Amino acid sequence: MTDSTDVMAALNEVSSNRSFGGYQKVFSHDSKELGCQMNFAIYLPPQAEDGEVPVVYWLSGLACTEQNFIMKSGVQRYASEHSIIVVAPDTSPRGCNIPGEDDSYDFGTGAGFYLDATQEPWKKNYRMFSYVSRELPEIVTSNFPASKERQSIMGHSMGGHGALICALKNPGKYRSVSTFAAICNPSVGNWGQKAFSGYLGPVESKSWADWDATELVKKYSGPPVEILLDQGKADPRLETDLFPENFVRACKESEIPVILHMRDGYDHSYYYIATFIEEHIKHHVKYLHA
């Protein structure tokens, strides 16, 4: 950690636990983008005590906080083994007193969808895209020994989509991107349509394509980024919300390299994520330590 008191003063340590020789910590801070206090989790491997290491961002799914991934995935063992920092933010602004923000698990609190809303009453606070791809990385690199150049992004469900759009809308920023059970084509699924209608306006407003990974990949012209999709075949949301095959088809049409692992018998849960998290970390490490 740097000892810049100015920068450190902005962060409040909520918890710190020794884990696999490093530390699993949670911080809170006032977010300028979101206009509220936010928590994020950060795993610091032992090697972070001696200098800069690469960083992987994890974006969680609906109804999660910064806690779900760090408590259930078992990521700390692999982050320690491979010398990477792992950052897991919360999934939406909280406590903004927006009418309706707590009415359902799949819209508002816990469901920021990692986009920048354009519609009232959401557009002032619901700017999770700018938060996770700009404000948070600045905070992380100025407060911790995290490399600015060597970063990757991954996520689950809503967060898998978040990871895809962060990579596709910020060409060159991330070396690799991977997802578990990502919402791959939100414009055609239930969860995605509900979120896009509320945050971006009706489909007729034509703004959805700017935030839909399957549409964005058709126009992607940045440097190569390795995309790894992972999907359980027994996921109850596969046919109604996720549509990985639409994304893979769009990648093939645009000649963007993509890998899709379909896993027999696995569902949408963290039991599935914990099973394959090591494989994903190793995928990112190939690019981060190259």
Locus of tokens 């999934």? 91
Of the candidates 118, 142, 207, 269, which one interacts with ligand GSH according to CB under 6 A?
269
Instruction: Answer yes or no whether residue 274 interacts with ligand GSH by CB under 6 A.
Output: no
Instruction: Find the length of the chain.
Output: 290
Catalytic pick from 106, 212, 235, 241? 235
Distance CA 236, CA 78 (A): 28
Based on CB atoms, which residue is closest to ligand GSH, 136 or 195? 195
For residue 14, give Cα distances in angstroms to 26, 39, 40, 58, 157. 5, 8, 10, 19, 27
Asked whether position 73 contacts ligand GSH by CB under 6 A, the answer is no
Catalytic-residue membership of 103:
no
Is 235 catalytic? The answer is yes
Q: Kindly write out the interface string for residues 229-268 of this chain, putting x where it contacts ligand GSH by CB under 6 A and - elsewhere.
A: ---------------------------------------x
Among 63, 96, 98, 188, binds ligand GSH (CB under 6 A): 63
Which residue of 56, 64, 165, 177 would you call a contact of ligand GSH, by CB under 6 A?
64
Q: Is 267 a catalytic residue?
A: no
| Binding to ligand GSH in span 179-238, by CB under 6 A | none
Residues 118-157 vs ligand GSH: string with x where CB under 6 A? Answer: --------------------------------------xx
Report the nearest approach of ligand GSH to the CB of residue 161 (Å).
Answer: 10
Q: Taking CB under 6 A as the rule, does residue 275 contact ligand GSH?
A: no
Give CA–CA dist 27/131, Å, rounded: 15
The reply to whether 271 sits near ligand GSH by the rule CB under 6 A is: no
| Distance, CA of 285 to CA of 275 (rounded, Å) | 18
What's the CA gap between 209 and 216, in Å, rounded? Answer: 7
Looking at beta carbons, which pairs linking 115-124 to residues 24 or more positions away fall under 8 Å?
115/165, 115/195, 115/199, 115/200, 115/211, 117/198, 117/199, 117/200, 118/199, 118/200, 118/201, 118/207, 119/198, 119/199, 119/200, 119/201, 122/98, 122/198, 122/199, 124/35, 124/96
Contacts with ligand GSH, residue ranges (CB under 6 A)? 61-64, 68, 72, 105, 156-158, 268-270
Catalytic residues: 157, 235, 268
